[in-house]
Amino acid sequence: MEKKQFQAESKRLLEMMINSIYSQREVFLRELISNASDAIDKLYYKALTDATLTFNKESYYIKIIPNKEERTLTIMDTGIGMTAEELETNLGTIAKSGSLAFKKENETKDGHDIIGQFGVGFYAAFMVADVVTVNSKALGSNQAYKWQSEGADGYSIEGTDKETIGTEIILKLKENSEDENYDEFLEEYRLKAIIKKYSDFIRYPIKMDVTTSKPKEENENENVEVLEEQIINSMVPIWRKNKNELKAEDYENFYNEKHYGFDKPLKHIHVSVDGTVRYNALLYIPENIPFDYYSKEYEKGLELYSSGVLIMDKCGDLLPDHFSFVKGLVDSEDLSLNISREMLQQDRQLKFISKNLAKKIKSALQSMLKDARENYETFFKAFGRQLKYGVYADFGANKETLQDLLLFYSSKEKKLVSLEEYVTNMPEDQKYIYYATGDSIERIDKLPQTELVTDKGYEILYFTEDIDEFAIKMLMTYKEKEFRSVSSGDLGIDNEKEDSKTESELEEYKELFDAMKEILGGKVTDVRVSKRLRSHPVCLSADGEITIEMEKILNAMPD
Ligand code: ADP
Ligand code: MG
């Protein structure tokens, strides 16, 4: 049987692609810069294997040239260039990636950072341009060629003049219309911002002439505007550097530069993993709560880079909810990206990374608790509530991860203690971990229910946040010790000796108690003699699982 090839309506395909792959127009620049960087990389790898070539890093760069008069934006590189044939195959065929082919051919050589793989990025240029012109001269060739296209209508290739090896892509920007504005891609500040956002860690310098004002030579008091060539990107990703080369200050500067926060982070976590999934990560524990942290608006997530190029600015899947306060980034060359490079094809690698990171975050917090208590308490005051939510959510599934990170105010120590510290300090005869709930420390101090427990010399944990008791109910026990509210019916304290009230005495009060109960109507189920009061005449007590405080919260919740 004869096998037929699929026909593709390439015009339509191109149009669809241009208009539907990317969610943001500005990524055209990311794509063209990535291609330029790949082209320089290829030259570099060629030089590694060819003794007749020398690679002098200084002479390789990318330049962005906006021209307001002509309404053009040029992206030029000093990379490997393209022959007429390569222009034809790589730019004339949708989904043909010369870079992917290059990677395959050179597979044995380790460590290349070539970004391209799908063969569609280049066409992103048509999101902003009517006409795209590519002038290119390939390494080892005497003749330069010009490729030109107005998009769907096809392209032309002809010889042209170009002195140096490399490629220059000239975008004739689309005309502005009522609701579309393309002029922004001619503005220095805008271009700078886009380069910083997506391409800050491209390894070759991205240069641009930037208007700066300088004192006039003949008159120092007067300024003139001059164009000065600047390198816009920072090139070396700090997270790929060796930890020994970096000081605490470098990490802090990066945190502020990245606008993760205006505070000084309490701790950074720098991870390099070279296993089944290779990745680098740089995470921070902030000091201050973001203003919207405990609201629906807050979006958790880390920045996700693939070989130094930004893919997502908030990848939520990288962080569990209970660590949603963590800021930072992950860079991996092992991600399987989707064609727009805005999303991931599958999340196996992501799951692997996020699981690993959660472990690292936990141990970083634990070491902070151990070695920098003051910092930890600052952290806990800001984000402890989130950890408690974490215990409460998932029905205690995060118990192991989170229980050792919790702190509560202690009646005895008069400061925050961990559950471990509490249990270590328990006298041998103490059966339970006691807690009392209330609005504030002062109010709990005055609770009559605490008297017996404190009299016994036992420590009480003060639960002043709504979530506390709910979280503890999920934990159920800590180191096999049950939690028990001081207002529960049974405190498990043997106090027969201290208390001399006999059955007959109780009989004696029966009438009084019945009268009290009647007066209180349905508000109480019973009035009894209490064995736990010392200086107070009366207290409320609850039977069963739900304590008085929990009941209050549950009643206050909307149905
Ligand atoms: P990808 O980068 O995913 O391969 P693109 O559509 O961005 O796909 O580019 C297609 C191909 O065109 C690249 O693989 C590369 O071979 C070639 N190419 C694009 N831009 C350049 C450039 N500036 N210099 C050299 N070759 C380039
Ligand atoms: Mg590309």
pLDDT tens, N- to C-terminus, the chain (559 residues): 778 777 767 778 788 878 888 888 999 999 999 999 999 999 988 888 888 887 777 789 999 999 999 999 999 999 999 999 999 999 988 888 998 888 888 865 555 678 888 888 999 999 999 999 999 999 999 999 999 999 888 899 999 999 999 999 999 999 999 888 999 999 999 999 999 999 999 999 999 999 998 888 777 788 888 999 999 999 988 998 899 999 999 999 999 888 888 889 999 999 999 888 899 999 999 999 998 998 889 999 999 999 889 989 899 999 999 999 999 999 998 888 877 777 777 778 899 999 999 999 999 999 999 999 999 999 999 999 999 999 998 766 788 889 999 999 999 999 999 999 999 999 999 999 999 999 999 999 888 888 888 888 999 999 999 899 999 989 989 999 999 998 877 788 766 444 555 566 667 778 888 888 888 877 888 787 776 666 777 777 776 666 666 677 677 666 5
**Known binder of ligand: residue 166?**
no
The CB of 90 under 6 Å from ligand 1? The reply is yes
* 437 CA → ligand 1 middle, Å: 64
Phi, psi of 512 (to 5 degrees): -60, -45
**Known binder of ligand: residue 274?**
no
* 83 CA → ligand 1 middle, Å: 12
Q: Point out the ligand 1 atom lying closest to the alpha carbon of residue 166.
A: 24
* 43 CA → ligand 2 middle, Å: 16
Instruction: Quote the pLDDT of residue 498.
Output: 45
* 340 CA → ligand 1 middle, Å: 15
* 32 CA → ligand 2 middle, Å: 7
Integer angstrom CA distances of residue 75 from 85, 206, 207, 268 = 21, 10, 10, 36
Question: What is the C-alpha separation between 22 and 341, in angstroms, rounded?
Answer: 9
The CB of 97 under 6 Å from ligand 1? The reply is yes
Question: Got the DSSP string for 22-58?
Answer: -S-TTHHHHHHHHHHHHHHHHHHHHHHH-TT----GG
Which ligand is closest in space to the CA of residue 39?
Answer: 1
Instruction: Quote the pLDDT of residue 493.
Output: 78
- In this structure, what token pair is assigned to residue 73? 């934006």
Which ligand is closest in space to the CA of residue 98?
Answer: 1
The CB of 117 under 6 Å from ligand 1? The reply is yes
* 52 CA → ligand 2 middle, Å: 28
**Known binder of ligand: residue 81?**
no
Instruction: Quote the pLDDT of residue 359.
Output: 95
Q: Point out the ligand 1 atom lying closest to the alpha carbon of residue 96.
A: 10
Q: Point out the ligand 1 atom lying closest to the alpha carbon of residue 79.
A: 24
3-state secondary structure of 268: strand
**Known binder of ligand: residue 134?**
no
Q: Point out the ligand 1 atom lying closest to the alpha carbon of residue 77.
A: 23
Please report, in angstroms and rounded to a whole number, the separation of the first and last CA atoms in the chain.
68
- Look at ligand 1, atom 15, and give the residue with the nearest C-alpha: 98
**Known binder of ligand: residue 201?**
no
Instruction: Quote the pLDDT of residue 71.
Output: 97
The CB of 122 under 6 Å from ligand 1? The reply is yes
- Amino acid identity of residue 40, one-letter, is I
Which has the closest alpha carbon to 65: 92, 97, 36?
Answer: 36
- Amino acid identity of residue 17, one-letter, is M
**Known binder of ligand: residue 77?**
yes
Question: What is the C-alpha separation between 4 and 339, in angstroms, rounded?
Answer: 26
* 97 CA → ligand 1 middle, Å: 6
Instruction: Quote the pLDDT of residue 497.
Output: 42
* 530 CA → ligand 1 middle, Å: 82
* 99 CA → ligand 2 middle, Å: 8
The CB of 166 under 6 Å from ligand 1? The reply is no
Instruction: Quote the pLDDT of residue 496.
Output: 41
Question: What is the C-alpha separation between 339 and 343, in angstroms, rounded?
Answer: 8
**Known binder of ligand: residue 117?**
yes
- What residues are neighbours of ligand 2 (ion), with CB under 5 Å? 35, 116, 121
Model ipTM over 0.95: yes
Integer angstrom CA distances of residue 61 from 37, 40, 45, 100, 136 = 8, 8, 16, 22, 15
The CB of 430 under 6 Å from ligand 1? The reply is no
Contact 509, 464 (CB under 8 A): no
Instruction: Quote the pLDDT of residue 8.
Output: 67
Can you say whether the dihedral through the CA atoms of 176, 179, 180, 186 is positive or negative? positive
**Known binder of ligand: residue 82?**
yes
- Look at ligand 1, atom 18, and give the residue with the nearest C-alpha: 35
The CB of 118 under 6 Å from ligand 1? The reply is yes
Which strands sit side by side in the sheet containing 155-160, from one edge to the other? 155-160, 144-149, 129-137, 166-173, 72-77, 62-67, 206-215, 223-231
